[in-house]
Amino acid sequence: MGLPAFSSARKRKGGNVRETDNISVIKGVGEKTKGLFAKLGVHTVGELIRLFPRGYQLYERPKPIQELKEGEVATVSGVINGAVKTGGNRFRQVTTICLKDESGSIKVLWFRMPFLKNTLRPGERLIVRGKLVRKREGLLMEHPEMFFPAQTYEKKLDTLQPVYPLTAGLTNNQVMKMMSQALEKIELEQEFLPEDMRMKYKLAEYNYAYRGVHFPKDKEQLFYSRKRLVFEEFLLFILTLRRIRQKNEKMKNSFMFQRQPLLEKFVEDLPFELTGAQKRVWGEIERDMNGAHVMARLIQGDVGSGKTILAVLALFYAGLNGFQGALMAPTEVLAKQHYEGISELLEVHGLNLKVELLTGSMRAKEKRETYERIRNGEASLIIGTHALIQEKVEYKNLALVVTDEQHRFGVKQRETLAAKGREPHILVMSATPIPRTLAIILYGELDISVVDELPKDRLPVKNCVVDTSYRKNSYRFMRQQVEEGRQCYVICPMVEESEAMDAENVTDYAKMLEEEMGDGLRIACLHGKMKQSLKDEIMEAFAKKEIDILVSTTVIEVGINVPNATVMMVENAERFGLAQLHQLRGRVGRGAHQSYCIFMTASKSKETKKRLEILNHSNDGFFIAGEDLKLRGPGDLFGIRQSGLMDFQIADVFQDADVLKLANDAAGEILEKDPELEESEHAMLREKIERYSEGIVLETTL
Q: Which residues bind ligand ADP (CB under 6 A)?
A: 272, 274-275, 278, 301, 303-309, 431, 455, 457, 561, 563, 590
CB contact at 8 A, 488 and 478: yes
Distance between CA atoms of residues 342 and 353, nearest Å = 10
Written in H, E and C, the secondary structure of 181-228 is HHHHHECCCCCCCCHHHHHHCCCCCHHHHHHHHHCCCCHHHHHHHHHH
Distance between CA atoms of residues 537 and 546, nearest Å = 11
Binding partner at 102 among ligand ADP, Mg ion, none, C-beta below 5 to 8 Å by kind: none
Distance between CA atoms of residues 448 and 430, nearest Å = 11
- Letters for 156-195 (x = contact with Mg ion by CB under 5 A, - = none) are ----------------------------------------
Instruction: Find the shortest distance in angstroms from Cβ 385 to ligand ADP.
Output: 17
How far apart, in Å, do the first and last CA atoms of the chain sit? Answer: 42
Instruction: Find the shortest distance in angstroms from Cβ 592 to ligand ADP.
Output: 8
Binding partner at 455 among ligand ADP, Mg ion, none, C-beta below 5 to 8 Å by kind: ligand ADP
Of these, 559, 589, 621, 639, which contacts Mg ion (CB under 5 A)? 559
Binding partner at 407 among Mg ion, ligand ADP, none, C-beta below 5 to 8 Å by kind: none
Give the nearer residue to ligand ADP in terms of CB position, either 41 or 276: 276
The angle subtended at Cα 136 by Cα 135 and Cα 137, nearest 5°, is 90
Distance between CA atoms of residues 671 and 669, nearest Å = 6
Binding partner at 303 among Mg ion, ligand ADP, none, C-beta below 5 to 8 Å by kind: ligand ADP
Question: Which residues are registered as beta bridge partners of 403?
Answer: 328, 428
Instruction: Find the shortest distance in angstroms from Cβ 167 to ligand ADP.
Output: 34
Binding partner at 590 among ligand ADP, Mg ion, none, C-beta below 5 to 8 Å by kind: ligand ADP
Give the nearer residue to ligand ADP in terms of CB position, either 564 or 605: 564
Instruction: Find the shortest distance in angstroms from Cβ 278 to ligand ADP.
Output: 6
Contacts (Cβ under 8 Å, ≥6 apart) of 188: 9, 19, 49, 206, 207, 210
- Letters for 29-48 (x = contact with Mg ion by CB under 5 A, - = none) are --------------------
Binding partner at 94 among ligand ADP, Mg ion, none, C-beta below 5 to 8 Å by kind: none
Q: Is 455 in the site for Mg ion (CB under 5 A)?
A: no
- Letters for 514-553 (x = contact with Mg ion by CB under 5 A, - = none) are ----------------------------------------
Binding partner at 305 among ligand ADP, Mg ion, none, C-beta below 5 to 8 Å by kind: ligand ADP
Instruction: Find the shortest distance in angstroms from Cβ 295 to ligand ADP.
Output: 19
Residue nearest to ligand ADP (CB): 306
Q: What is the DSSP letter of 272?
A: S
Residues 619-678 that bind Mg ion (CB under 5 A): none
What sign results for the dihedral spanned by CA atoms 11, 12, 13, 19? negative
Binding partner at 130 among ligand ADP, Mg ion, none, C-beta below 5 to 8 Å by kind: none
What sign results for the dihedral spanned by CA atoms 430, 435, 440, 442? negative
Q: Which stretch binds Mg ion (CB under 5 A): 83-91, 160-168, 555-563, 666-674?
A: 555-563
Give the nearer residue to ligand ADP in terms of CB position, either 88 or 563: 563
Contacts (Cβ under 8 Å, ≥6 apart) of 67: 103
Give the nearer residue to ligand ADP in terms of CB position, either 308 or 552: 308
Instruction: Find the shortest distance in angstroms from Cβ 459 to ligand ADP.
Output: 12
Instruction: Find the shortest distance in angstroms from Cβ 346 to ligand ADP.
Output: 15
Give the nearer residue to Mg ion in terms of CB position, either 215 or 282: 282
Give the nearer residue to ligand ADP in terms of CB position, either 278 or 693: 278
Q: Which of 38, 69, 64 is nearest to 51 (CA)?
A: 38
Instruction: Find the shortest distance in angstroms from Cβ 404 to Mg ion.
Output: 6
Q: How many helices (H) and strands (E) does the chain have?
A: 22, 23
Give the nearer residue to ligand ADP in terms of CB position, either 487 or 561: 561
Binding partner at 301 among Mg ion, ligand ADP, none, C-beta below 5 to 8 Å by kind: ligand ADP
DSSP strands (E only) in 50-190: 55-58, 73-80, 85-88, 93-100, 105-111, 125-135, 138-147, 160-163
Distance between CA atoms of residues 255 and 314, nearest Å = 14
Instruction: Find the shortest distance in angstroms from Cβ 534 to ligand ADP.
Output: 24
In this structure, how many other beta carbons lie within 10 angstroms of the beta carbon of residue 646? 19
Instruction: Find the shortest distance in angstroms from Cβ 458 to ligand ADP.
Output: 7
Give the nearer residue to ligand ADP in terms of CB position, either 309 or 510: 309
Q: Which of 408, 403, 404, 382 is nearest to 393 (CA)?
A: 382
Instruction: Find the shortest distance in angstroms from Cβ 308 to Mg ion.
Output: 5
In terms of residues, how long is the chain? 702
DSSP strands (E only) in 411-446: 425-430
- Dump the DSSP string for 287-311: HHHTSSB--EEEEEE-TTS--HHHH
Q: How many residues bind Mg ion (CB under 5 A)?
A: 1
Instruction: Find the shortest distance in angstroms from Cβ 336 to Mg ion.
Output: 14
Distance between CA atoms of residues 440 and 450, nearest Å = 12
Give the nearer residue to ligand ADP in terms of CB position, either 116 or 267: 267
Residue nearest to Mg ion (CB): 559
Binding partner at 115 among ligand ADP, Mg ion, none, C-beta below 5 to 8 Å by kind: none
Instruction: Find the shortest distance in angstroms from Cβ 314 to ligand ADP.
Output: 13
Give the nearer residue to Mg ion in terms of CB position, either 46 or 559: 559
Give the nearer residue to ligand ADP in terms of CB position, either 57 or 275: 275
The residue type of 537 is E
Give the nearer residue to ligand ADP in terms of CB position, either 278 or 324: 278
Contacts (Cβ under 8 Å, ≥6 apart) of 637: 54, 55, 56, 57, 73, 163
Give the nearer residue to Mg ion in terms of CB position, either 303 or 538: 303
Give the nearer residue to Mg ion in terms of CB position, either 559 or 591: 559
Backbone angles phi, psi at 145, to 5 degrees: -75, 145
The angle subtended at Cα 539 by Cα 537 and Cα 541, nearest 5°, is 70
User: What is the distance, to the nearest Å, from the Cα of residue 219 to the centroid of all Cα atoms in its chain?
Assistant: 27
Q: Which of 82, 140, 85 is nearest to 108 (CA)?
A: 140
Q: How big is the chain by its Cα radius of gyration, in Å?
A: 28
Instruction: Find the shortest distance in angstroms from Cβ 588 to Mg ion.
Output: 14
Contacts with Mg ion by CB under 5 A lie at: 559
